[in-house]
Chains A and B, each alone.
Chain A
Amino acid sequence: MIIEGKEKKWEIVCGLEIHCQIISESKIFSGASTRFGADANENVSFVDAGMPGMLPTLNRYCVHQAVKTGLGLRAKINKFSEFSRKNYFYADMPTGYQITQFQYPIVGEGVVTVDLEDGSSKDIRIERMHIEQDAGKSIHDIDSRKTFIDLNRAGVGLMEIVTKPDFRSPEEAGAFLKKLRSILRYLGTCDGNMDEGSMRCDVNVSVRPAGSDELRTRCEMKNVNSVKFVMQAIENEARRHVEVYENGGTVEQETRQFDPISGQTKVMRKKEFAHDYRYFPEPDLPPLVLTDEYIKQVADELPELPDAKKARFVEKLGLTKYDAMVICENKEVADFFEKAAAGHDAKKVANWLMGDFFAMLKRKNLTIDESPVSAENLGALVELIEKNVISGKIAKDVFEIMSETGDAPEKIVEEKGLKQVTDTGAIEAVVDKVIAENPDKVSAYKGGKTGLMGWFVGQVIKESKGKANPQIVNRLLAEKLN
């Protein structure tokens, strides 16, 4: 995206830092539960509460999840990594420091390919990913003079993914977040819900004259909590920078806050008040050392990821790139699709899935897991059309019943007697009846109004209550009228 200034054109330079809560049973450094929604301070161990003499112990599964994620980001897994303390005082940071990784993160450089609206794709480079602990929650709105602290979230594992400043438009950042979320969900390492805070995004924005390669002062916006807001924050912040520069000003390096209501950003912390985190190696935890065998073992467990699945759906199942992209964004949808398409015409299944099926889910406000229509039944429905047992039109009625009752389409077709009539004799009788009852139309047709053929077909199908096979009707009518 190019911003047209008064004097010149500007381009956006943007990088993201995304905090992703690791899916695990227990916290990254303690045996307390990560379960959401418990009563205040119930999922808290003495370690999480920063009690004197308490020590962190690393959760093996969190490491596994991080390595898995790193591999999913096509990134280098560092066999040597180290935990560090990031020191700062805050009410919901009980020890006065966060255990994180600084100099030696567990995951190094990687890449994520994003799919853009125009059908093109772009590689976004990942700088690094490290693991760390989450903070607790400060609740400010119970009392006007007090802050309440709940440590249930304190110590939940986080993966912090840092991108290179590769985004040149809000759309690229939005596409990246969607793709990242999709990858994490495929991997089962983070549920990616930005609105629930299990994925949180810090946005770094600067601008520069279009085409130049300089790097100007950037501003950081913390905790922007939806894809839409991230995109808004980038655009509005970039426009603010352009305005500052074009009015002869300079952009100050600062931390800003995005206000979702106004869509604007405002200063949170100036550089001179920036924290001095005093990082140093965490003396309570020896370095984390991984072996090649371990990394390989995790790699062997990786599921097929969205890009690979998309490519396979295009190549092997003949889907369009767009359809494959839509279906593969969500693993559950892709799995549902594959199950439904097994043994059937995949393209037709895709059409049904993206058409009537998605519309039905949306109407009923259901997730795909809650769908009354099973994958097998959707496949069976397409099969009935393919085999001429029912027409496409009847199929829509059958689908409606399926989405109410959850019944198999065969059963519905059987019970309601919706089977297409393919008995030529029976159809011929209806054709004859229609011809006999409409002599004027017959002579008009014979007089050259061949467009009436459609009318005849419609009449016959109507007369058969939709069950007559349209191809047979067409053939018989043609024989009798010509």
Chain B
Amino acid sequence: MEKITSLTVHETLDGLKNKEFTATELTAAYIKEMEKRRALNAYVLETPEHALKQAEEADRRYRDGTARVLEGIPLGIKDLFCTKDIRTTACSRILDGFVPPYESTVTANLFAAGASCLGKLNLDEFAMGGSNETSCYGPVVNPWQEERKLVPGGSSGGSAAAVAANICAAATGTDTGGSIRQPSAFCGVTGIKPTYGRCSRYGIVAFASSLDQAGPIAKDVRDCALLLNVMAGYDHRDSTSVKAEVPDFTKALGQSVKGLKVGIPAEYRPAGLNPEIAACWDRGIEILKSAGAEIVNISLPHTKYALAVYYIIAPAEASSNLARYDGLRYGLRVPGEHLDNMYINTRSAGFGKEVKRRIMIGTYVLSAGYYDAYYLKAQKVRRLIRDDFVQAFNRCDVILTPTAPTPAFPIGDNSMKENPINMWLNDVFTVSVNLAGLPGLSLPAGLSGDGLPLGLQLIGRAFDEETVFKAASAIEKECGFERLK
């Protein structure tokens, strides 16, 4: 029998229900694996006692017959989610030692469904990055070909790596420009960024409010559906969360895709597209076609502007969202003679390079005289990008694209160090989905020539995660991707 830590969430739930193992045994196994795999640097805080205590409760509930939907499932939580009485830092020095007196809605939902918390997972500082290298706790190592020291992607790099390495059953992620989907692709796991407004942002350290969405990163499509069932829902504490019914997403799995119109956007196949990525994409198209789906060529003409729009809007919102980190009420304080000196000293020491870069850009594009040229312009093009999708969805039901333009790259890659824009180009296939507020899922669909996972992205209409899940499960079933066990 394979290790219990290699099981998916749904397999684990079966095992717990059938008394093949207890939640305590399961949790202990995960804790052991966690300790063994510390070199990955996926966790920034381990909370084994906490998890074991939750496991006891889970075992009691299995005995009592009061088990909840995720009873006993040990999760890793991206350190961007505020967890009550558990240190939360967004992997930034500026939140040094911050212990929230409140719980984010998404984690509260998961824990109320019986899931437990193994610890807090590494990420790019304030979720700003595509490689997990901006974390103040150092980079995470991609568990695929660990010796090559590749990045896990970002910003939810710790989450994707931990799921891939089986040191949690599943994890939470957040996605502002691709932060769930790109690391999922790099680590060979499945992640979904739901429609903007599906999950509450309450208690999630904000990066760019109009783009941020929480979602699960898990071992397969079914696990994502199971977790999203629990994570999603209207929250009166988040005015941007939507009062829409949350269907049982697992019902969409395995349904026939016969007649489903799958859009293939021409703009996602630029001249220089990595041939392995292109081949993987073609294979995905073939799978859906063979399953009876109708392939439709579509155009998303403003795609090429999405990154520029994103790198105006996201930094602008971030520059404002991060103003609260001033050394006054929580986190790091570096003293200064006067208040302004204290602010400057604290923020200069507390934020890393990429975060400062984005705060500077964001501050600039909002400043007097430049707002119209940059921010307002970006908002207008944002509308055009969303309208592209609205048009496209008149012709198709779901869109299939690659998730990222490359497989995982080495930690410390020079071209990206020298020019931040090269790093940002990682988000080229994912940012439009955030700008348009749509659901997007990444699933592993093949390997590169040197054996690294490649991901495909499915994009759905707003609030139509079901179609995304349906198409994803069809690809998953046929592509025969082997997870790390």
Contact = CB atoms under 8 A, between A and B. Distances in A.
Q: Does A associate with B in a complex? A: yes
Interface of A: 46, 49-58, 85, 87, 89, 91, 94-97, 147, 149, 276, 278-280, 283-286
- Nearest 4 A/B pairs, CB to CB: A96-B323, A283-B209, A278-B366, A283-B210
Main secondary structure of the interface of B (DSSP, over half): loop
A278 B326 CA distance: 18
Main secondary structure of the interface of A (DSSP, over half): loop
B238 interface: yes
Interface of B: 81-82, 88, 90, 95, 98, 100-102, 104, 201-206, 208-210, 236-240, 316-317, 319-320, 322-324, 326, 328-330, 339-340, 343, 363, 366-368, 371, 375
Contact of B363 (A54, A58, A278): A278
A52 B316 CA distance: 17
Nearest to B235: A55
14 contacts: A46-B101, A49-B329, A51-B102, A53-B203, A53-B205, A55-B240, A58-B239, A89-B340, A91-B339, A97-B320, A149-B328, A276-B367, A280-B371, A285-B240
A56 B320 contact: no
Contact of B201 (A55, A96, A147): A55
B277 to A, nearest CB: 32
Contact of B320 (A87, A147, A276): A87
Contacts of A94: 324, 328-329
Contacts of B322: 96
Contacts of A278: 319-320, 363, 366-368, 371
A136 to B, nearest CB: 11
Contacts of B343: 89
Contacts of B329: 49-51, 94
A284 B209 contact: yes
Given A87-B323, A280-B366, A51 B330 contact: yes
B322 to A, nearest CB: 8
A286 B239 contact: yes
Contacts of A279: 366, 371
Contacts of B81: 53
A57 B237 contact: yes
A280 B316 contact: yes
A97 B101 CA distance: 22
Contacts of A283: 208-210, 240, 317
Given A87-B366, A94-B328, A276-B368, A52 B323 contact: no
B342 to A, nearest CB: 9
Contacts of A285: 239-240
B239 A56 contact: yes
A279 B328 CA distance: 23
B203 to A, nearest CB: 4
A278 B360 CA distance: 13
Contacts of A58: 239
B148 to A, nearest CB: 35
B256 to A, nearest CB: 37
Contact of A89 (B90, B98, B210, B326): B326
Contacts of A91: 328, 339
A55 B324 contact: no
Given A96-B323, A285-B239, A52 B366 contact: no
Contacts of A53: 81-82, 100, 104, 201-206
Contacts of A51: 82, 100-102, 329-330
Contact of B206 (A52, A57, A96, A149): A52
